[in-house]
Amino acid sequence: MIKSNTPPPIRFLFSHPAHLIACGFGSGLSPIASGTVGTLFAWLTFPLLNGWMNEAELIGFLVVCFIGGVLAAHKTGLDLGVVDHGSIVWDEIVPFWMVLVFCPPHWLWQTTAFLLFRVFDIVKPQPARYFDEKVKNGFGVMTDDLIAAGYTVLVLAILRFILE
């Protein structure tokens, strides 16, 4: 069993496809702030996704990624012995991609979205806290961050209404 704040060895990533996905293709192996590193990975890779798909295709892709993430996070959590191990960052990646779908494509808006998402992910306002504390499986791991993403999109919409 690995402690929740200790990254697994890199060979762990390649021991099962679920581990590679759940650990964000290695971004979750950061020894510090792995959730932030996973969110940065999402931000940096989003232009690749956004360039290949229209908005409807992208949302469909994110639904598939969420469902796959539930399975990958669950398997990886079981194998690491910690349901929401710190190296599991797919739960940051997919919801932040969703935030970026609804975020204006300007660096200032995206930076604001990044900061808001990290705050909501760390603070875990209800019902995110419920899923984090009570739903101890891949669905709980993914859903608390999806709720943080929802709060982020809501605040961004309010800011856009006020500022534009």
Q: Is residue 5 part of a domain?
A: no
Q: What is the tally of structural domains in the chain?
A: 1
pLDDT digits (tens, 9 = 90+) for 15-41: 999 999 999 999 999 999 999 999 999
pLDDT digits (tens, 9 = 90+) for 62-93: 999 999 999 999 999 999 999 999 999 999 99
Q: Is residue 27 part of a domain?
A: yes
Q: Is residue 1 part of a domain?
A: no
From the number of C-beta atoms within 10 Å of its C-beta (0-12, 13-18, 19+), residue 88 rates as buried
Quick check: 141 and 93 in contact, CB under 8 A?
Answer: no
pLDDT digits (tens, 9 = 90+) for 119-131: 999 999 999 999 9
Instruction: Name the token pair of 134.
Output: 């009570």
Quick check: 80 and 2 in contact, CB under 8 A?
Answer: yes
Instruction: Name the token pair of 103.
Output: 């975020």
pTM for the structure as a whole: 0.94
Q: Is residue 2 part of a domain?
A: no
Q: Is residue 4 part of a domain?
A: no
| CA separation for the pair 164, 160 (Å, rounded) | 5
- Three-state SS at 31: coil
Q: Is residue 92 part of a domain?
A: yes
Q: Give the rounded distance of the alpha carbon of 78 from its chain centre.
A: 19
pLDDT value of position 2? 58
Nearest one of 106, 118, 107 to 151, comparing CA atoms: 118
Q: Is residue 129 part of a domain?
A: yes
Q: Is residue 3 part of a domain?
A: no
> Model confidence at 137, in pLDDT bands (50, 70, 90)?
very high
- Only one residue has tokens 């290949």, namely 52
Structural domain boundaries, residue 45: 10-163
Question: Average pLDDT in the 42-49 region?
Answer: 96
| CA separation for the pair 114, 155 (Å, rounded) | 12
Determine the Cα angle at 86 with ends 149 and 109, to 5°: 30
> Model confidence at 51, in pLDDT bands (50, 70, 90)?
confident
